[in-house]
A and B are shown apart, each in its own frame.
Chain A
Amino acid sequence: MSEPLLALRIESESTGTGEAFGRLEGDEPVARDTVTPRPARENSRHAQAHESAIKHVTGRARYIDDLPAPHGALHAMVGLSDVAHGRITRLDLGAVMEMPGVIDVITAQHIPGHRDIGPVFPGDPMLADEEVSYVGQPLFAIAATSYLEARRAVKAAVVEIAPLPPRFDPVAAADAGEFVRPTHVQMSGDWQQALEHAPHVLEAEQFVGGQEHFYLEGQACLVVPGEDEGVTVYTSNQHPSETQKLVAEVLDIPFHAVTVENRRMGGGFGGKETQAAPWACMAALLARRTGRAIRLRLPRAEDTRATGKRHPFHNRYRLGFDDEGVILGGDMTLIGDCGHSPDLSEAVVDRAMFHADNAYSLGAARVTGHRARTHMASNTAFRGFGGPQGMMIVEQAMDDIARHVGEDPLTVRKRNLYRIGRDTTHYGQHVDQYPLMVEIIERLERSSDYWQRRDEIRAFNRQSAVIKRGLALTPVKFGISFTAKHLNQAGALLHVYTDGSVMINHGGTEMGQGLHTKVCQVVARELGIDFESVRISATRTDKVPNTSPTAASSGADLNGMAARDAATQIRQRLLDFAAEHYQFDREGLHLENGKLVSDIGAVTPAVSWGELIQAAYLGRVSLSATGFYSTPLIHYDRDSGQGRPFYYFAYGASVSEVRVDTLSGEYRVERVDILHDVGDSLNPAIDLGQVEGGFIQGMGWLTSEELKWNDDGRLLTDGPATYKIPTFGDLPPIFNVELLEGHPNSQASLYRSKAVGEPPFMLGISVWSALRDALSSLTGYRVSPPLDTPATPERVLMAAEALRAGPANVGASR
């Protein structure tokens, strides 16, 4: 396989940095900026900097609210419900219309087409019609001549809602059978018999908190009405095709009348997969009604209240195991708090169930997933998509079992890993590459000095009354593929222009994860040209249609393959043409370092890429191609709960050490070691960034990021003043992060790479487990303390107080 020019470029630019930042021209989205990577951080010639890095640091990268708006553009704002559940008895917007600058007002009655914009299943009215289902639900939208006028005008609305009893407790909802989707069950073997015959049985429950996405760029769009019946929608959005569909359905026009474009997002994390669409739909309706462009950007508090979050979960396990702590079987119940509507909850709870085993064989097990309906914003996709919440229950079980049998939790974890004879999941998928998990753990065990530190920490804790240290190693096994099979497809469109520059479009969106960089690298590699010759413009539904969301870590796997398909077609055409045109031997002809090269007959003069393209154009060769890819082999049967939903698994493990003040509940993560599997990395710099960033985000989910509502269902933590994502000082002082090398994907993925967006998120679980370890030391490691999440200083202190008051006060496992 040829890996041509990237290496040369990096060598030639390895001195100095100033001159490497050339070519800053124009306002066009460009993918050609390139710099010398820092050698210390890089271990491969594929460590290309992010295609927008220079634009990011100079402020030239444009986000939605930075786009130049057409003349006369209006600002839209949305009026939200203050009541969690009730019937609208009065929605009087007369005073709103009278406010300065207001041009138009819409309610549900003004929608010409579909009023329900539920992405997969119905249940999400664009604007509440008669009933309101959560605090923050959109009731009406307005357009005004300025942002401030629009915000002020919204407050003039007269809204009267006759309250109905709200439900906020998902457990009570599940008990009452209040679900947004039917319960699903997966079963392997006779779990009841396994429990009956097990030497030991433990059961426990846990609450796993939700998480606000806190993308730095909030929900935003700009909609420009066209000369026909349609609109062009610029939106910070992970799923342009779905937004195209919903906007068309709301306006009651054909899909081809709606074009959706996204150049980049200021963060997505799942929060813009389905929940970016409503704002585009409202703005589109206002744009068509006023004939003017509409800008809509939600203020942070409105954004946080109106949109769904990571699902909180209530999980339970009842597991039987032998004297060694090896699970024989049992029962797990996962209750996802879905909020008021289905949104993506069917698949989110499915994925939680698919990951209730994490890296361990559950033996004969039953896993039940409930989708509870509550009067909350509809919870949605968030990095990991239910997987993290599912893993939490089995990781709690590992710690609990270890305390019960008197072993170190790592020992029990290792004994339970998938292995020969125990290599099939509870949903019937054979676990590919399971020895990798063992290897990762054993290497990390050594590189982190786990056992030596374990001894030191135990000795320290024996002497230290107040400060307690904790240590934990937790693995991650994460299934890669959309569990909705049809989404596992992607398209690409590649143009070669006559100057030899290349434009690639694909269905994926850029939210910071480096997808466009990777796709440009793929095309450059296939065509043997340098990275700078390949550009990605924005993602647009009129270039690549019917796309899947950029989600499920699949962006590079799917779109990279589609781009590769397009590039391969072009390459074949060019080589066929060249063989005939230049009378070269077709066999052995290839593209390398920006040249057409023949392996046979060294006397053949090389033809430059530019010359070749010119000749091909004159020779009337098509220089444009569409590419397509669909993931093979995957299937899942919901009736039996069995199948192979994942093309492959990605693996990783992390070791975290914490220091806890048991008088105040304050703690610090002092050291973290990570080893993570990305197959053969497409771009080690970007992949490392995903692993580090994912870990910290996962740590934030389980530690400081606390969502709190008042008794009326109003979110109290609706901004960064009260909702605390990790900041600079939360970076562990010692943070050793490595990508596992030398283990290509066993499946035929893109250059044998593996997806990296979501799996590292769950590495953060080791922080939570280390906190439990530190707390457990208060009881001489005899009791495994319950520790709901997020494990804020408050929860840690209250857990410590309960342990000090005596095990009887700990609602622990029996």
Chain B
Amino acid sequence: MIEFFLNGQRQRVATEPETSVLELLRGPLARHGTKEGCASGDCGACTVAIASPEDGQQSLTYRTANACITPAHQLQGAHLITVEGLARGDALHPAQSSMVACHGSQCGFCTPGIVMSLFVMHEQQRSAPGMPLDDHRLEAALGGNLCRCTGYRPIRDAALSMSEHADTRPPWADDPTLERAVRELSPTVASEGQSGYLTPTTLAELTAAMQRHPEARLVAGATDLWLEATQRLEPFEMLIDLRQVRELRQIEETADGWWIGAAVSYREWEPLLVEHYPAFAHLLTRLGSAQIRNRGTVGGNIANASPIGDTPPVLLTLDARLRLAGPQGMRELPLASFFLDYKKTALEPGECVAAIYLPKPQANFEQRVWKLSKRREDDISTLLGAFRWRRKDGVLSDVRVAYGGMAAIPLRVEAVEAALEGRKPDQATFRTARQALHDSLTPMSDARGSRDYRLTAAVNLLERWRLTLVDTGSNDPAQEVILDAYAH
């Protein structure tokens, strides 16, 4: 049994562990405005807005989510807004009236999801009206909503013209007691044992629950796990939700780095990266979509151990470490020792990733992160190259090179590092490095790219790196070697 608010109305419903928010909406709740386009979190047709009090914000803050891969249980204690909850009688919300006025819908099937992304953007504008609606923000907000009809131009017009429309507030926004009522709901799922869904709130509770239920699967953002529910249709015997575990939601600063809790979402992590690791932060703008970044976690990206996860290669070059929590307590492990083989990790039974240590950048630190994919936004890496080094007197040191998509695991390429370490970045040095890379990797062919392409492009990224080292920052177009939209 879960309790939450839907468009200002309190709901109390029974649901199965593997039921998604979308299934709950379109089934028992009979709200058919939210559509299913793919049931895999890739198209955004099912976009809804969710405010969860435990996200630590001062007031309820609405974030987009793909309802198709969000566990219904994660609505516990939250306020869910759907497309039915915006208009005030006949008066449309600006996210809606601007879409009508700009001819932003054709077949209309993606439209409810787009309206919800616009709604969240509008809410953000209300709370921070000074923030310009530049292309970067528009792309970040709308890149996860596929439209097959319009070609996006009228949707862009709608996003830009929302402020010109009457600022009709949704009916629930008038209710002064709503926020308190939402906050009064328990953040944890009641009668946990029977529900098949556990919501521990401390690390100790978590490890105890994992011991009690060795069959249980761990869930945080569910952005990958839920594909097992929607595509493989396997019921989950028991799910343990990490999102309420206090220790996993913290970012703890130390003298020379940060421990990032494993259940910290990409979005929550982003400000820190923007300040200290801008190249890494830019990668996040190309990781999934806003809907995914709002829910997916860095711990999930690591523990999932996908060879094409976006952050592991970067974290490898930053010498990241992991804190693993288990029945025997906590242990630390270099990230490089974590990935053993395809989808195999160093996690022992009963263990989970608790936190990731990110060192602070040292003097003369430089970094490049280049993700290659078929489409710039909302796509998974075909390959990803991460490079980090220091440069003093024209000599490279502390060189780290890692790739994703080039082997069964995210991989540091020590032969390339060795070829560059202590050397000047001249053509001869990089020729050796390219050869070393070529000899070190044997990628595979799949739907995202062929072996040849992966190898050729991976080697070329070293040449691109060399060219950026030659670049002295002039604006001479002859020095242009990267398309700005893809990376900086």
Binding site for B on A (CB under 8 A): 16-18, 21-24, 35-38, 41, 49-50, 52-63, 65-66, 148, 151-152, 155, 213-218, 264-269, 299-301, 460, 463-467, 511-514, 659, 661, 663-668, 685-686, 688-689, 692-697, 704, 706, 708, 716-717, 719-722, 724-731, 733, 735, 737, 792-794, 797-798, 801
When C-beta atoms are compared, the residue in chain A nearest to B116 turns out to be: A59
Take A664-B370, A722-B448 as given contacts and tell me if A55 and B143 are in contact as well, using a CB distance cutoff of 8 Å. Answer: no
Measured in the bound complex, the distance between the Cα atoms of B149 and A725 in whole Å is 11
Q: Known contacts A38-B157, A464-B478; can you find 5 more A-B pairs with CB under 8 A? A: A18-B166, A52-B105, A58-B86, A216-B107, A731-B152
Take A57-B96, A464-B480, A719-B42 as given contacts and tell me if A152 and B374 are in contact as well, using a CB distance cutoff of 8 Å. Answer: no
Which of B36, B43, B107, B373 gathers the greatest number of chain A CB atoms within 10 Å?
A: B107
Which of B32, B156, B372, B375 gathers the greatest number of chain A CB atoms within 10 Å?
A: B375
Contact with A along B420-452 (1 / 0, CB 8 A): 000000000000000000000000001111101
User: Are B380 and A721 touching (Cβ within 8 A)?
Assistant: yes
Take A41-B157, A216-B110, A299-B39 as given contacts and tell me if A58 and B92 are in contact as well, using a CB distance cutoff of 8 Å. Answer: yes
**A308 to chain B: closest CB distance in Å?**
17
Take A66-B32, A267-B107 as given contacts and tell me if A798 and B45 are in contact as well, using a CB distance cutoff of 8 Å. Answer: no
User: Are A724 and B379 touching (Cβ within 8 A)?
Assistant: yes
In the bound complex, residues from chain B placing their C-beta under 8 Å from that of A792 are: 374
User: Are A59 and B33 touching (Cβ within 8 A)?
Assistant: yes
Take A155-B233, A666-B483, A798-B453 as given contacts and tell me if A693 and B106 are in contact as well, using a CB distance cutoff of 8 Å. Answer: yes
Residue among A300, A664, A697, A716 making CB contact with B461, cutoff 8 Å: A664
In the bound complex, residues from chain A placing their C-beta under 8 Å from that of B101 are: 17, 35-38, 49
In the bound complex, residues from chain B placing their C-beta under 8 Å from that of A706 are: 374, 447
User: Are B105 and A50 touching (Cβ within 8 A)?
Assistant: yes
Residue among A300, A466, A716 making CB contact with B464, cutoff 8 Å: A466
Binding site for A on B (CB under 8 A): 26, 31-40, 42-43, 45, 82-84, 86-87, 89-92, 95-97, 99-112, 115, 135, 138-139, 142-157, 161, 165-166, 168, 231, 233, 370, 372-380, 382, 446-450, 452-453, 456-457, 460-461, 463-464, 467, 476-478, 480-483, 485-486
In the bound complex, residues from chain B placing their C-beta under 8 Å from that of A798 are: 452-453, 456
User: Are B463 and A663 touching (Cβ within 8 A)?
Assistant: yes
Take A41-B102, A730-B376 as given contacts and tell me if A721 and B456 are in contact as well, using a CB distance cutoff of 8 Å. Answer: no
When C-beta atoms are compared, the residue in chain A nearest to B480 turns out to be: A467
| Closest A-B pairs by Cβ, 3 of them | A59-B33, A512-B107, A266-B109
In the bound complex, residues from chain B placing their C-beta under 8 Å from that of A793 are: 372-374, 382, 457
In the bound complex, residues from chain A placing their C-beta under 8 Å from that of B477 are: 460, 463-464, 467
Residue among A57, A301, A696 making CB contact with B152, cutoff 8 Å: A696
Some 12 contacts from A to B, beta carbons below 8 A apart, are A24-B89, A50-B103, A52-B108, A53-B108, A56-B112, A57-B104, A59-B32, A300-B37, A465-B478, A666-B486, A704-B375, A726-B151
**B192 to chain A: closest CB distance in Å?**
23
**B286 to chain A: closest CB distance in Å?**
9
Measured in the bound complex, the distance between the Cα atoms of B193 and A532 in whole Å is 57
User: Are B100 and A659 touching (Cβ within 8 A)?
Assistant: no
How would you classify the secondary structure of chain B's contact residues: helix, strand, loop or mixed?
Answer: loop
Measured in the bound complex, the distance between the Cα atoms of B150 and A694 in whole Å is 8
**A276 to chain B: closest CB distance in Å?**
14
When C-beta atoms are compared, the residue in chain B nearest to A466 turns out to be: B481
User: Are B150 and A693 touching (Cβ within 8 A)?
Assistant: yes
Residue among B82, B84, B87, B378 making CB contact with A727, cutoff 8 Å: B378
When C-beta atoms are compared, the residue in chain A nearest to B154 turns out to be: A689
When C-beta atoms are compared, the residue in chain B nearest to A267 turns out to be: B107
Measured in the bound complex, the distance between the Cα atoms of B100 and A797 in whole Å is 41
User: Are B446 and A716 touching (Cβ within 8 A)?
Assistant: yes
When C-beta atoms are compared, the residue in chain A nearest to B285 turns out to be: A729
User: Are B377 and A58 touching (Cβ within 8 A)?
Assistant: no
User: Are B152 and A733 touching (Cβ within 8 A)?
Assistant: no
Measured in the bound complex, the distance between the Cα atoms of B226 and A721 in whole Å is 14
In the bound complex, residues from chain B placing their C-beta under 8 Å from that of A59 are: 31-34, 82-84, 112, 115
User: Are A54 and B92 touching (Cβ within 8 A)?
Assistant: yes
User: Are A667 and B483 touching (Cβ within 8 A)?
Assistant: yes
In the bound complex, residues from chain A placing their C-beta under 8 Å from that of B36 are: 65
Take A663-B464, A668-B483, A693-B150 as given contacts and tell me if A264 and B143 are in contact as well, using a CB distance cutoff of 8 Å. Answer: no
User: Are A725 and B35 touching (Cβ within 8 A)?
Assistant: no
User: Are A720 and B42 touching (Cβ within 8 A)?
Assistant: yes
In the bound complex, residues from chain A placing their C-beta under 8 Å from that of B461 are: 663-664
Residue among A35, A269, A717, A797 making CB contact with B148, cutoff 8 Å: A269
When C-beta atoms are compared, the residue in chain B nearest to A66 turns out to be: B32
Take A720-B40, A728-B152 as given contacts and tell me if A63 and B374 are in contact as well, using a CB distance cutoff of 8 Å. Answer: no
Measured in the bound complex, the distance between the Cα atoms of B145 and A666 in whole Å is 22
In the bound complex, residues from chain B placing their C-beta under 8 Å from that of A695 are: 151
Residue among A50, A152, A697, A733 making CB contact with B151, cutoff 8 Å: A697
Take A57-B111, A720-B146 as given contacts and tell me if A63 and B35 are in contact as well, using a CB distance cutoff of 8 Å. Answer: yes
When C-beta atoms are compared, the residue in chain B nearest to A54 turns out to be: B100
**A234 to chain B: closest CB distance in Å?**
14
Take A49-B100, A59-B84, A666-B372 as given contacts and tell me if A217 and B109 are in contact as well, using a CB distance cutoff of 8 Å. Answer: yes
Measured in the bound complex, the distance between the Cα atoms of B150 and A696 in whole Å is 8
Measured in the bound complex, the distance between the Cα atoms of B101 and A125 in whole Å is 46
User: Are B377 and A727 touching (Cβ within 8 A)?
Assistant: yes
User: Are B107 and A264 touching (Cβ within 8 A)?
Assistant: yes
**B154 to chain A: closest CB distance in Å?**
7
When C-beta atoms are compared, the residue in chain B nearest to A213 turns out to be: B148
Which of A17, A52, A692, A695 gathers the greatest number of chain B CB atoms within 10 Å?
A: A17
Residue among A151, A465, A733 making CB contact with B135, cutoff 8 Å: A733
In the bound complex, residues from chain B placing their C-beta under 8 Å from that of A218 are: 37
User: Are B378 and A57 touching (Cβ within 8 A)?
Assistant: no
Take A56-B108, A217-B107, A798-B452 as given contacts and tell me if A717 and B447 are in contact as well, using a CB distance cutoff of 8 Å. Answer: yes
User: Are B148 and A692 touching (Cβ within 8 A)?
Assistant: no
**B86 to chain A: closest CB distance in Å?**
8
Measured in the bound complex, the distance between the Cα atoms of B375 and A155 in whole Å is 33
User: Are A704 and B115 touching (Cβ within 8 A)?
Assistant: no
Measured in the bound complex, the distance between the Cα atoms of B154 and A53 in whole Å is 13
Measured in the bound complex, the distance between the Cα atoms of B63 and A437 in whole Å is 49
When C-beta atoms are compared, the residue in chain B nearest to A58 turns out to be: B87
In the bound complex, residues from chain A placing their C-beta under 8 Å from that of B233 are: 148, 151-152, 155
**B114 to chain A: closest CB distance in Å?**
9
User: Are B38 and A727 touching (Cβ within 8 A)?
Assistant: no
Which of A52, A59, A61 gathers the greatest number of chain B CB atoms within 10 Å?
A: A59
User: Are B84 and A58 touching (Cβ within 8 A)?
Assistant: yes
Measured in the bound complex, the distance between the Cα atoms of B103 and A737 in whole Å is 15
**A514 to chain B: closest CB distance in Å?**
7
User: Are A728 and B372 touching (Cβ within 8 A)?
Assistant: no
When C-beta atoms are compared, the residue in chain A nearest to B385 turns out to be: A664
User: Are B90 and A21 touching (Cβ within 8 A)?
Assistant: yes
User: Are A17 and B40 touching (Cβ within 8 A)?
Assistant: no
Residue among B95, B152, B450 making CB contact with A794, cutoff 8 Å: B450
In the bound complex, residues from chain A placing their C-beta under 8 Å from that of B480 are: 464, 466-467
User: Are A725 and B146 touching (Cβ within 8 A)?
Assistant: yes
When C-beta atoms are compared, the residue in chain A nearest to B32 turns out to be: A66
Measured in the bound complex, the distance between the Cα atoms of B156 and A733 in whole Å is 11
User: Are B108 and A266 touching (Cβ within 8 A)?
Assistant: yes
User: Are A216 and B99 touching (Cβ within 8 A)?
Assistant: no
**A156 to chain B: closest CB distance in Å?**
12
In the bound complex, residues from chain A placing their C-beta under 8 Å from that of B107 are: 215-217, 264-268, 511-512
Measured in the bound complex, the distance between the Cα atoms of B111 and A299 in whole Å is 20
Take A706-B374, A729-B377, A731-B156 as given contacts and tell me if A57 and B100 are in contact as well, using a CB distance cutoff of 8 Å. Answer: yes
When C-beta atoms are compared, the residue in chain B nearest to A23 turns out to be: B90
Residue among B108, B148, B155, B165 making CB contact with A17, cutoff 8 Å: B165
When C-beta atoms are compared, the residue in chain A nearest to B448 turns out to be: A722
Measured in the bound complex, the distance between the Cα atoms of B211 and A46 in whole Å is 68
User: Are B103 and A267 touching (Cβ within 8 A)?
Assistant: no
In the bound complex, residues from chain B placing their C-beta under 8 Å from that of A708 are: 447
In the bound complex, residues from chain A placing their C-beta under 8 Å from that of B373 are: 793
In the bound complex, residues from chain B placing their C-beta under 8 Å from that of A50 are: 103, 105-106, 108
When C-beta atoms are compared, the residue in chain A nearest to B467 turns out to be: A466
